[in-house]
Structure 1
Amino acid sequence: MNQKQRPRRKNRGATVAAVLCFVAAIALVGTYTFKDYRNTQKEQLLAQTEEIRNREKKEDTPKAEETTTDLIINKSETENAQNVQAEEPEAEAQESTDTSSTDNSQATAAKSKSVSFDSSSKLLWPVNGNILLNFSMDKTVYFSTLDQYKYNPALIISGAEGDQVISATAGTVKSIDKTAQTGTTVNVDIGNGYELFYGQLKEVPVNVGDYVEAKTVLGYVSQPTKYYSVEGSNVYFEMRKDGQPVNPMEYLVEE
């Protein structure tokens, strides 16, 4: 009986040994597989990390380029602004020079058209109308509106509102003023110390410094000022020689 049991024990031992070898083999394979899995996971993690870094670099690059571009643009704008500021004084100086040249040209043109009125020269009537008040510096005349007598250094000539008022002779516009007594008044220098004053005007088309020929329209008859409301619409026509009133009737041509 003991002889029969020995082969069984041998077979059992062989089986156990085979099982142990199989288990050891599985363990080795499992260990290798686990290491390979960990390496694979590590490589994937490194790859993902590298990809994220590359994305961040790509996203940062446009911002850097945009910042650089903005700096270049701002620098260019600053340089342009500085150039404009530098050019402005030159432009202003040029404009001032041009304006001065224009003024000088106008003054030269006015001087080249010299006016030389003298005691033998004649005047045209500035407006078609009757004399409402005569020139009178040696005795007083009655002013209806003021209800008083006073000296009159001019001719007060009637005219309908809106009638043209023309230059009585050639000259240069010396001034254009507005006073309570004569309203808008144009002063024309006609040469040799002679001046003419045209008052009670409106819509004056000429300017100071303009050279005007005889019969040039200087304006239109306006409503009378409060000093001549009773006399009605008129033209205040005064003549001076060296600042002193002169009787225009002595120079007006007969119509």
Structure 2
Amino acid sequence: MRQDKKQKDIPAITLVLCFCLMALVSVFVVKANVDKIRDTAQSNKAADVVKEKAVEENTETEADIVDSLDSTDSGADDTESQNAAEFTAPLSGEIIMDFSMDMPIYQKTLDQYMTHSGIDIAAPEGTGVSACAAGTVTRIEEDDKLGIVVEINHGNNLLSVYGNLAGDDLIELGEIVSRGDTIGKVGRTSLFEFGEDDHLHFEMRKNGDPVAPGSYIRGL
């Protein structure tokens, strides 16, 4: 009798154990899913942080580029303003022959096309010529092409050259001048430009090479 009861209890016990095992498995499955969801959330959060940091760095880089460009533009404007403040035209007059080192232009005196390393500013003979900027007179000579020439060294390997000057009332060699000081008068001593109207031949040279005077003097 007792043996029969034990045999009847075995299925019930087995069923209870199965339910317990299933419950335990369910707990592990739920815990694993929760852990997976938490890990995914943390990964997404980390990815968002990295993405936000990358966006911030990219924004900062773009801002730096804009600031750099603004700084460059400002530097260029400052240089132009500085040039305009330091240099002025040696006299007033119409430019009758422009600077042209890339393309030959017609020279009436020689009746041929040649490059022109300066500009010719129309002015009556005897008109006073002024230093375009402060500097030291480093050369006074009679040039075979440009006639009587005065050269002023302004520092930083920059020279100004004044040709076709008269032989009288010239400044002295080695004299220190300020912008606007009279250094001579317009003459008719240039053999290469003798057939042109009365004018001053004016050049600027950087590191020994001719440069357009308009790069330093506004309006030329």
- Establish whether TM, by shorter chain, passes 0.5: yes
Instruction: Give the superposition deviation at 1:224.
Output: 4.6
Instruction: Give the superposition deviation at 1:197.
Output: 0.2
Contact kept? 2:147, 2:164, Cα under 8 Å:
yes
Structure 1: where are the runs of 5+ without partners? 1-117
Q: Which residue of 1 aligns with 2:219?
A: 254
Q: Which residue of 1 aligns with 2:83?
A: 121
Structural mapping, 1:144-223, within 5 Å = 144-202=108-166, 203-223=168-188
Instruction: Give the superposition deviation at 1:138.
Output: 1.0
Contact kept? 2:163, 2:202, Cα under 8 Å:
yes
Distance 1:224 1:146 in 2: 15
The 3-state SS of whatever aligns with 1:249 is: helix
Distance 1:247 1:229 in 2: 22
TM-score for both structures, normalised by structure 1: 0.51
Identity over aligned pairs, percent: 32
Instruction: Give the superposition deviation at 1:180.
Output: 2.3
Distance 1:254 1:142 in 2: 23
1:58-111 CA distances to partner (integer Å, 9 max, x unpaired)? xxxxxxxxxxxxxxxxxxxxxxxxxxxxxxxxxxxxxxxxxxxxxxxxxxxxxx
Q: Which residue of 2 aligns with 1:232?
A: 197
Contact kept? 1:167, 1:217, Cα under 8 Å:
yes
Q: Which moved more, 1:138-147 or 1:187-196?
A: 138-147
Q: 1:204 to 1:175 in 2, by over 3 A?
A: farther
Instruction: Give the superposition deviation at 1:229.
Output: 2.4
Structure 2: where are the runs of 5+ without partners? 1-78
Instruction: Give the superposition deviation at 1:226.
Output: 3.1
Q: 1:229 to 1:253 in 2, by over 3 A?
A: same
Distance 1:230 1:205 in 2: 23
Distance 1:127 1:148 in 2: 28
1:105-159 CA distances to partner (integer Å, 9 max, x unpaired)? xxxxxxxxxxxxx774232111221111110111111111111111111011111
Instruction: Give the superposition deviation at 1:234.
Output: 1.0
Distance 2:104 2:143 in 1: 22
Contact kept? 1:169, 1:213, Cα under 8 Å:
yes
Q: 1:170 to 1:219 in 2, by over 3 A?
A: same
Instruction: Give the superposition deviation at 1:205.
Output: 3.3
Distance 1:210 1:169 in 2: 13
Count of residue pairs the alignment pairs up: 138
Hey, which of these two has a bigger chunk of helix by percent?
1
Contact kept? 1:224, 1:232, Cα under 8 Å:
no
Query: Which structure has the larger Rg?
Result: 1
Could you list the runs of 4 or more consecutive aligned residues of structure 1 that deviate by over 2 angstroms after TM superposition? none
Contact kept? 1:153, 1:238, Cα under 8 Å:
yes
Distance 2:93 2:209 in 1: 25
The 3-state SS of whatever aligns with 1:245 is: strand
Distance 1:121 1:249 in 2: 10
